[in-house]
Structure 1
């Protein structure tokens, strides 16, 4: 498998993360994003490949079905801005994405499934891949035009609060997603989440309410970090996310470019899970553009896995 371009969400003690997607307002590119997304709700199928090392179901990386279902509920609460949940906001620039995620109802052979594919990695031998490659796609990778592949990775407990998640970006003509960050012809598309940060838990970490998947799904559907390339002239091509020239961490807001208050609660920041609660209208329009124009993302909407 060739090198894979991924968008990392990694936190270390020095709070330095790796970013591969950046964008510039200086690029001569007129955004093709429509003003309003579709009114009907779009359903997208997901399969969760649970990678484990022989643990019983519900122990360690072999996470329980209940935890997986709750994570998908959280994802939908966030994307649908569901009232009465952590995903609700009444911000004038916020909105309901009209996108929902469904655990796949059948596998690639047409057999009924609960959307969970458990794999004991100790029973399968695969090559060790180099850095920045999706090692786990060798164990399981379903057609990305029919499933959003999500892998929960069996990392050691010592990675808690250090390694969160990673996602591929779509190949699109949207500004900011450059060809260098597109998946290659033999690259696997999907999302990896450290099992420790999949779903809600009581771990002693700022990322414990299931927002890692919300953030990475935003990348999968074409969203960038609000700080873009890291200066006030570069952004995420969403006018309703206040410009900021540096990564946004924590839970305390501050003034960004032009004296605007940073939108600390935006899902595409590296904010604490407890304060995340908003996709803006421009971000929503951008995701809908990907769903309407990216061949694979568009095909998901008619996937047999939804039946």
Structure 2
């Protein structure tokens, strides 16, 4: 009996020892801790500074408020977005680091997707006779997206020297895949995604896993547009633009040069607002964009100082006039490209 007890004790100790060693680092294994302590999804209106709340037209983009609504309607979305952010940070942290494979064979660590990306665009128009959307508007919008995401915006020559080395060529090309039109009698579609659903009078998305769906309609409330972040429901995935703000459009005034789409596609590619939708300590998760505490408006004069640094007011993810925004940063480029990498939330676009 004693020998039997001793036998089982030895087995138990062996199992415990194996479990204790399961997390040991092998000679070729490198472990990098990813800090997620600053990650957030919900935003509050009271985080906006007096500068923003004093502006009667502060809701240029409704993406974050739409995200708040979607999070309430779908509790699992927060976990999906957390996982996407963790994947993003892992790839950025691994960028440029040598890796090791089995048997000592060198292999590269995963990095943000390095190839050229081509994104088909399906334009879904809810036609309002008072706000016509012509083929010229559509064609100019595709051209503007291609200029902005390939560092061909002519205004980029005006980037201050402080930020000149940070200007990115994102190397994403947009092609017009289809145009769907549907007559609409609605003067305001709001932001509840009704325009994306035929059951609510809108137009259903076309293969959203492989197309960027762009809905054009009267949103209302002075809102220029909004986008769905990666991780949301496929049926509503895409970007919404107000009819007057698509492409080169005189009806859009200072916002009639197609940059609403550039801004919203940035969100669709997982960029946050340049000021992080909060105070100085709430970040946009990009290392090379300066901290700020609120959006900028109009045509700011450089330097505009907030949070003890100069704002990158010319960034596409701010709220300035269309002709006053003309760059993505290299850090934003890395962030966008991670979603096309293996395991990325938009990997289907490059498979």
CA distance in 1, matches of 2:206, 2:344: 16
Preserved contact between residue 170 and residue 294 of structure 1 (Cα < 8 Å): no
CA distance in 2, matches of 1:87, 1:102: 23
CA distance in 2, matches of 1:103, 1:87: 25
CA distance in 1, matches of 2:343, 2:122: 20
Q: Does 1:121 align with 2:184?
A: yes
Q: Does 1:102 align with 2:162?
A: no
Shift of 1:201: 2.2
The structure-2 alpha-carbon separation of the partners of 1:200 and 1:188, relative to structure 1 and needing over 3 Å to count, comes to: same
CA distance in 1, matches of 2:179, 2:316: 25
Q: How does 1:57-206 map to 2 (within 5 A)?
A: 60-82=130-152, 85-86=154-155, 91-104=164-177, 115-121=178-184, 132-138=191-197, 139-154=203-218, 162-171=222-231, 183-184=232-233, 188-203=236-251, 205-206=253-254
- Can you give the 5+ residue segments of structure 2 that lack an aligned partner in the other structure? 1-41, 43-52, 69-84, 96-110, 198-202
Shift of 1:38: 4.1
Q: How does 1:51-62 map to 2 (within 5 A)?
A: 51-53=126-128, 55=129, 60-62=130-132
Deviations 1:200-226 (A, max 9, x none): 122463211100000000000000012
Over aligned residues, Cα RMSD in angstroms?
3.1
CA distance in 1, matches of 2:344, 2:318: 27
- Can you give the 5+ residue segments of structure 1 that lack an aligned partner in the other structure? 6-10, 23-27, 105-114, 172-182, 303-307
CA distance in 2, matches of 1:45, 1:12: 39
SS of the equivalent of 2:255 reads coil
Which gives a bigger RCO, structure 1 or 2 (Cα 8 Å, sep 6+)? Answer: 1
1:238 is matched with 286
Shift of 1:142: 1.2
Q: How many residues align?
A: 251
SS of the equivalent of 1:216 reads helix
Deviations 1:153-186 (A, max 9, x none): 0457xx6xx2200100012xxxxxxxxxxx25x7
Q: Does 1:299 align with 2:299?
A: no
CA distance in 2, matches of 1:134, 1:88: 38
The structure-2 alpha-carbon separation of the partners of 1:204 and 1:78, relative to structure 1 and needing over 3 Å to count, comes to: closer
CA distance in 2, matches of 1:255, 1:119: 46
Shift of 1:62: 4.1
Preserved contact between residue 239 and residue 282 of structure 1 (Cα < 8 Å): yes
The structure-2 alpha-carbon separation of the partners of 1:87 and 1:298, relative to structure 1 and needing over 3 Å to count, comes to: farther
2:34 is matched with none
CA distance in 2, matches of 1:212, 1:260: 26
2:119 is matched with 44
The structure-2 alpha-carbon separation of the partners of 1:250 and 1:147, relative to structure 1 and needing over 3 Å to count, comes to: same
Shift of 1:251: 1.5
CA distance in 2, matches of 1:143, 1:12: 41
CA distance in 2, matches of 1:288, 1:75: 16
Shift of 1:250: 2.0
The structure-2 alpha-carbon separation of the partners of 1:38 and 1:187, relative to structure 1 and needing over 3 Å to count, comes to: closer
CA distance in 2, matches of 1:43, 1:89: 28
SS of the equivalent of 1:116 reads strand
